[in-house]
Amino acid sequence: MFGLSVAYACLKSGASVRVVDPNGPAAGASGGLVGALAPHTPDNWNPKKQFQFDSLILSRTFWADVGKAADMPTGYTPAGRLQPILQEKQIPLAIERADQARTLWQGKAKWTVLDRPKDPWAPPSPTGHLIFDDLSAHIHPRQATQALSAAVQALGGDVVRRGALQGAVVDATGWDGLKSLSKDLGREVGNGVKGQAALLDFAAPDQPQLFADGLHIVPHQDGTTAIGSTSERVFKNATNTDNQVDDIVAKAKRLYPQLRGADVVERWAGVRPRALTRAPILGKHPLKDGWFIANGGFKIGFGMAPLAGQVLAKLILEGLNDIPADFDVALVLEAE
């Protein structure tokens, strides 16, 4: 997703682009099932949160443009997110965040505390209170990645399994790239975290995504609903599913009675690239002249990708650096 986003932005700026993807689009972590585009909380504001906010706002037009160029669905749905407030003492904090969102989110999105909404789709809440934000959206990762690849080609770019590395090179190789960079630098800059998810035959299009008890429930436009995901720091096989995905499906069906009769139509596993700082890594490669890095998206990669592509394209093509300092490789090298 990061590599294709950079390619798309470079093409929109008039550059010639070749994407070399040995396994084809959506073969790795970007080909997953869940696609929960959700912001960090609107408090303790920092450059990472601002960048994510700007990218989520950009997503509202970005994915429509991609879908139009590709003539393919992306699954992007700006339906927001519902999450329960579990303890009474958390209600004042949620209300305070709603107040801060009015300023920090610039009137472009809202964070709202709901009191006992009568909605069968809503997650169970011991306090009866829920948080709804309309900055959140969801996407079908596999569809979106394939559509973005098609859009790159529709704009004149090449997407190939093998090809020469010419001109400016963007290394957007996910967790394998983080392992290679760590080896080259002689210290760890990031790693991979495996995630397992499931897809249910349950239609709830245009409903908000749900987040409760560590689970994301994401209804897709194609009549399925995704459940995810695990976070596994230690694993033997990157793509095998096991009883852990069965556990999250069982947990989701306990929480949400409406899901109990739904069949599992797909189980999926993949490894997401996680930088030590937990922020994306964007910018010039520390060891290779003329090379750049786009990596470390982890759980927020799809939300960050539209703006990440634009700022890295601007750095490559114009030499102008609008990338937050927190995303620089040098900061990752300083992280403990």
Decide: 286 and 189 in contact? Cβ < 8 Å: no
- What pLDDT digit, counting tens, does each position of 129-156 carry? 999 999 999 999 999 999 999 999 999 9
Indicate the pLDDT class of residue 116, thresholds 50, 70 and 90. confident
CATH of the domain at 171: 3.30.9.10
Q: What is the pLDDT of residue 171?
A: 97
Q: What is the pLDDT of residue 56?
A: 98
- Identify which of 59-63, 117-121, 185-189, 210-214 has the greatest average pLDDT: 59-63
- What pLDDT digit, counting tens, does each position of 24-36 carry? 999 999 999 999 9
**Which residues span the domain enclosing 62?**
2-334
With 90 as the cut, is the pLDDT of residue 277 above it? no
Q: How many domains does the chain have?
A: 1
The mean of the pLDDT values for the chain is 95
Q: What is the pLDDT of residue 332?
A: 63
Q: Which residues of 179-195 are buried (b: 16+ CB within 10 A; e: fewer)?
A: bebbeeeeeebbbbbbb
Please tell me what DSSP assigns to residue 21. Answer: -
Amino acid at 36: A
With 90 as the cut, is the pLDDT of residue 38 above it? yes
Query: What percent of the chain stands above pLDDT 70?
Result: 98
With 70 as the cut, is the pLDDT of residue 278 above it? yes
Indicate the pLDDT class of residue 333, thresholds 50, 70 and 90. low
- What pLDDT digit, counting tens, does each position of 305-331 carry? 999 999 999 999 999 999 998 898 777
The C-alpha atoms of residue 101 and residue 112 are separated, in whole angstroms, by 9
Which residue, 34, 38, 23, is CA-closest to 231? 34
Helix (H, G, I), strand (E, B) or coil at 111: strand
Which string of DSSP letters, residue by residue, matches 137-177? EE--HHHHHHHHHHHHHHTT-EEESS----SSEEE--HHHH
Q: What is the pLDDT of residue 232?
A: 96
Which residue, 273, 271, 124, 263, is CA-closest to 199? 263
Taking residues 265-271, what's their average pLDDT?
A: 97
Q: 314 or 116: which carries more pLDDT confidence?
A: 314
Please report which helix (H) or strand (E) contains residue 212, including its range. Answer: strand 209-212
- What pLDDT digit, counting tens, does each position of 172-223 carry? 999 999 999 999 999 899 999 999 999 999 999 999 999 999 999 999 999 9
